[in-house]
């Protein structure tokens, strides 16, 4: 079996553009992947056709280890763009293998570790401005069956925060905790906004609200600062969504700079590399909760990883808080039900791209705002009016 064709499909989904990949083989099988990357979707698409395509055409999709490792070795410059191109292609290769074997991908990655998987909601706070707005929307998240939720209460903070800004962030968290009760998990997303000092001060203010974790409190580029924050606070620290190589994760895990590791299979090399990262974490009792903030194919692939990996305990979900047509972009199973993910059971990933619907929602330039200027607040809080 050889790969004979590579196609890409770029489509808009509100705040994000999704880039899907489809590989075809000489025996009639196809496999889909996703290589979406905020602000760089067209750049990734160009790289896929300019460089990855020549490396993948003629390859046997069963040879994932050598094909992907050679691309990772040969891409030379590194970084999120090329690693996303490689990752999306690797996911499509797994889809082909699963179809060729007549098995869902999770069975090829180690088999079932659980029947259902808890999910935490993300993206749910679009339209929230005041603490009461956040609380009202949080109440609906619980009504939808979720046992946990993640949110960023820090506005457009960068490194420093005034007392007024810290008071506002704490008030949002306090109001949500009061509204949802003590049994709902709260993950605080910081987006790497803060200096170590402010992250620690803010974390100590939030301790009383029983956080599930405090995510990316400082820049992802400094393990020293992350470890400083982790050592100073009594609740779990999560990090890893902006690391792109297995070597970076080895350093993070060895330093024990986080309690929850968050590799993104669509950016860090694909499913097999993510399994290796999880195995390193498992050996030292660190849990894994993959990052996945992009489209339905990436989510589907991540779920196959989740169901086959013992040290995964929860998976984030943007799917119910995206545009209304998100599920129309693909054919296949809808995995979420009452805040939990169901086990996939179709061969391969169990999903395919609906290219006709993708074409109805063409690419839009720079739809995802910077998280550090007022456009972030305006665009995200107004997204419901645009849908």
Can you tell me the distance from the alpha carbon of 365 to that of 363, in angstroms, rounded to the nearest whole number? 7
Position 368 scores a pLDDT of: 86
Ordered per-residue pLDDT tens for the chain, 387 residues: 999 999 999 999 998 999 999 999 999 999 999 999 999 999 999 999 999 999 999 999 999 999 999 999 998 888 999 999 999 999 999 999 999 999 999 999 999 999 889 999 999 998 898 999 999 999 999 999 999 999 999 999 999 999 999 999 999 999 999 999 999 999 999 999 999 999 999 999 999 999 999 999 999 999 999 999 999 999 999 999 999 999 999 999 999 999 999 999 999 999 999 999 999 999 999 999 999 999 999 999 999 999 999 999 999 999 999 999 999 999 987 889 999 999 888 999 999 999 999 999 999 998 888 888 776 766 664 544 444
Q: Are 225 and 205 in contact (CB under 8 A)?
A: no
Q: Are 182 and 348 in contact (CB under 8 A)?
A: no
Catalytic residue among 191, 248, 304, 361: 191
Task: Tell me the CA distances in angstroms from 197 to 3, 114, 152, one per residue in order.
Answer: 51, 40, 18
Can you tell me the distance from the alpha carbon of 56 to that of 92, in angstroms, rounded to the nearest whole number? 11
Does 291 participate in catalysis according to the annotation? yes
**Phi/psi of residue 7, nearest 5 degrees:** -125, 150
Can you tell me the distance from the alpha carbon of 7 to that of 21, in angstroms, rounded to the nearest whole number? 6
Can you tell me the distance from the alpha carbon of 31 to that of 316, in angstroms, rounded to the nearest whole number? 24
3-state secondary structure 176-190: HHHHHCCCCEEEEEC
Nearest alpha carbon to residue 363 among 95, 109, 97, 13: 13
Tokens 């869902």 locate to 104
* Strand-strand pairing, 260-261 and 213-215: unpaired
**pTM, entire model:** 0.96
Catalytic residue among 49, 267, 282, 291: 291
Position 384 scores a pLDDT of: 44
**Phi/psi of residue 198, nearest 5 degrees:** -70, -35
Ramachandran quadrant class, 218 (left: phi over 0; alpha: psi -120 to 50; beta: rest) = beta
Kindly give the interhelix angle for 296-307 and 271-282, rounded to the nearest 10 degrees: 40
Can you tell me the distance from the alpha carbon of 74 to that of 59, in angstroms, rounded to the nearest whole number? 16
Position 344 scores a pLDDT of: 84
Q: Are 295 and 16 in contact (CB under 8 A)?
A: yes
Can you tell me the distance from the alpha carbon of 72 to that of 51, in angstroms, rounded to the nearest whole number? 12
Number of Cα atoms under 13 Å in the Cβ half of residue 143: 8
Kindly give the interhelix angle for 246-254 and 271-282, rounded to the nearest 10 degrees: 10
Kindly list the structural domains of the chain, giving each domain's residue range(s) and its CATH number in brackets, ordered by start.
3-103 (3.30.390.10), 107-348+373-386 (3.20.20.120)
Which regions of the chain does DSSP assign to beta strands (E)? Answer: 3-13, 16-25, 30-34, 116-121, 148-151, 185-189, 213-215, 237-239, 260-261, 287-288, 315-317, 330-332, 336-337, 340-342, 351-353
Can you tell me the distance from the alpha carbon of 314 to that of 24, in angstroms, rounded to the nearest whole number? 33
Q: Are 113 and 303 in contact (CB under 8 A)?
A: no
For residue 312, the 8-state DSSP code is: B
Can you tell me the distance from the alpha carbon of 136 to that of 176, in angstroms, rounded to the nearest whole number? 8
């Amino acid at each position: 079996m050889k790969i004979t064709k590579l196609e890409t499909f770029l489509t808009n989904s509100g705040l994000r553009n999704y880039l899907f990949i489809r590989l075809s083989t000489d025996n009639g099988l196809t496999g889909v992947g996703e290589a979406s990357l905020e602000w760089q979707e067209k750049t990734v698409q160009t790289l896929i056709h300019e460089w990855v395509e020549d490396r993948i055409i003629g390859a046997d999709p069963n040879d994932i280890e050598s094909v992907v490792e050679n691309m990772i070795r040969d891409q030379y410059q590194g970084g999120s763009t090329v690693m996303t191109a490689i990752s999306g292609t690797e996911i499509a290769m797994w889809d082909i293998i699963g179809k060729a074997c007549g098995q869902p991908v999770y069975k090829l990655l180690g088999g079932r570790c659980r029947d259902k998987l808890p999910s935490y909601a993300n993206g749910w706070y679009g339209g929230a401005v005041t603490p009461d707005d956040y609380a009202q929307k949080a109440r609906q998240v619980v009504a939808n069956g979720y046992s946990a939720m993640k949110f960023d209460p820090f506005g457009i903070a960068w490194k420093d925060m005034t007392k007024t800004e810290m008071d506002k962030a704490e008030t949002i968290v306090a109001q949500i905790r009061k509204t949802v009760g003590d049994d709902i998990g709260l993950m605080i997303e910081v987006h790497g906004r803060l200096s170590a000092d402010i992250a620690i001060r803010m974390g100590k203010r939030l301790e009383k609200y029983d956080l599930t974790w405090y995510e990316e409190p400082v820049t992802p580029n400094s393990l020293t600062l992350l470890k400083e924050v982790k050592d100073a606070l009594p609740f779990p620290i999560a990090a890893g969504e902006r690391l792109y190589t297995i070597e970076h994760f080895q350093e993070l895990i060895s330093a024990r700079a986080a309690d929850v590791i968050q590799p993104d299979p669509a950016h860090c090399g694909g499913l097999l590399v993510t399994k290796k990262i999880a195995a390193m974490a498992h050996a030292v009792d660190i849990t894994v909760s993959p990052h996945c903030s992009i489209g339905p194919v990436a989510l589907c692939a991540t779920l196959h990883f989740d169901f086959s990996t013992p040290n995964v305990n929860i998976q984030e979900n943007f799917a119910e808080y995206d545009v209304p047509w998100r599920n129309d972009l693909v054919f296949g199973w809808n995995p979420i039900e009452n805040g939990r993910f169901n086990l996939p059971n179709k061969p391969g990933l169990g999903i395919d791209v609906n290219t006709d619907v993708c074409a109805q929602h063409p690419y839009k330039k720079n739809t995802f705002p910077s998280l550090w200027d007022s456009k972030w607040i305006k665009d995200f809080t107004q997204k419901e009016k645009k849908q």
